[in-house]
Amino acid sequence: MVADLEVWALTGDDALRSALNDPRFRRNWRSWRALNEGEVPENHPVKAMVHLDNMLTSDGAEHRRLRGLISRAFTPRRIESLRPTVEETARGLIDGLAERAGEGPVDVKEELAYPLSIAVFAALFGFEPSHHDRMRAMVATAFAGGSPEEVAQMRADVDAFLDELVAAKRAEPGDDMTSALVAANEDGERLSDVELRDTLWLMVSAGFETTASALANGVQVLLSHPGQLDLLRKGEAEWSEAVEEVLRHSTSVAALPFLFAGEDIEIGGVTVEKGEPLLLGYLAANLDEERYGDSAGRFDLTEDRPRHLGLGHGPHTCLGSALARMELETALRGFFTRFPEAAVDGGEPAELPSVFINSPMALPVRLGEPA
């Protein structure tokens, strides 16, 4: 059940990978039978998440067209050029934490994970610092849901915010992703105004909340597995390996809506009828014992794991995966090098109330004496 919608959920690794590569399953919301027949309320929160025209909600040639246009702006060179920003921002935030180490616990999610991911995202897309709180509020409503009125207001705020941003970049283009997307052109085709706005919303909604939550998850899981953390500190495991295990075991993307059956399809021993939605259960699939063995539920850097689904699979693999890995590795290494005595303050942190995001609401940590 997703916000009062009855849907099938793909929770096994094999079934999820198969569906993500199967052209009989569609991403486009126009394939959702219940939506077309008026069974989904106009103001339903999940409708607001899928009723978009961007590369995540497109299929086949249309998806290739949109992804091709966006990939021209989202180049490896552009991502690598952000490394100094990532390193400098992470270092500054960790220095700030060190200055307050003796003052009591700090919320690592609020004071490291969010500021880092938002600062990097803003540098990539050319957002002003004054927009940070506004972006966070919109994304929080999108992932956590809310009343129909709150969701409707969020969508109106999103459209107004992104229309303002696009207008500003058209008037004064910069060396940023938004300007590049405005100018993106392939064989004479550009992103339409709706596609541009919905693409930017995809980047905003997927761009910093998921990375911030993954970083908070990484700090939390390493603090709760001191033996694994000790392997990293002794150089017996690589920080890049820790990032991959965080993305598998503690991925921030618990689930995403939806794939829609383009015809009656049998998958995982169940027949999904044409037009029915499938929830994509990434976290459950990443803990699937049929793929990862008896140790699937254990955070373990010594295991030789097969490739996970933490950053997607198939045609819709995350375009920002390299940047997410860069941020996580930089911040985790920097944090645990600087704070060898860090420990979670109190009991198990409360989880974010979201079907889609797996992360604590806050992560209070006692830093101890900085190195």
pLDDT tier for residue 271 given thresholds of 50, 70 and 90: very high
The pLDDT value given to residue 23: 94
Task: Out of 66-70, 134-138, 304-308, 311-315, give the one with best mean pLDDT.
Answer: 304-308
Residue 286 has pLDDT above 50, yes or no: yes
Residue 249's closest CA among 280, 202, 207, 291? 291
| CA separation for the pair 180, 66 (Å, rounded) | 14
More confident residue, 155 or 322: 322
More confident residue, 156 or 220: 220
Q: What is the pLDDT of residues 115-124, one digit of tens each?
A: 999 999 888 8
Q: What is the pLDDT of residues 169-195, one digit of tens each?
A: 999 999 888 898 888 765 567 788 888
Q: What is the pLDDT of residues 348-360, one digit of tens each?
A: 899 988 889 999 9
Residue 330 has pLDDT above 50, yes or no: yes
Distances (CA, A) of 184 to 180, 190, 196, 265: 6, 6, 10, 37
Q: What is the pLDDT of residues 208-258, one digit of tens each?
A: 889 999 999 999 999 999 999 999 999 999 999 999 999 999 999 999 989
Residue 1 has pLDDT above 50, yes or no: no
Residues whose CB is less than 8 angstroms from the CB of residue 337 and which lie 6 or more positions away in sequence, other chains included: 233, 371
| CA separation for the pair 144, 49 (Å, rounded) | 11
The pLDDT value given to residue 225: 97
* Torsion over CA: 159, 169, 178, 253 (sign): negative
Where do the structural domains in the chain lie, given as residue ranges?
8-366
The correct answer on CATH 1.20.1530.20 for the domain covering 8-366 is: no
- Average pLDDT of the residues in 130-156: 78
More confident residue, 69 or 18: 18
pLDDT tier for residue 259 given thresholds of 50, 70 and 90: very high
> Average pLDDT, whole number, for the chain?
90
The pLDDT value given to residue 200: 87
Distances (CA, A) of 240 to 82, 231, 243, 328, 344: 18, 13, 5, 9, 23
The pLDDT value given to residue 209: 87
The pLDDT value given to residue 4: 62
More confident residue, 294 or 38: 294
- Average pLDDT of the residues in 65-86: 87
- Average pLDDT of the residues in 327-349: 95
| CA separation for the pair 285, 16 (Å, rounded) | 7
Distances (CA, A) of 217 to 61, 122, 130: 36, 22, 27
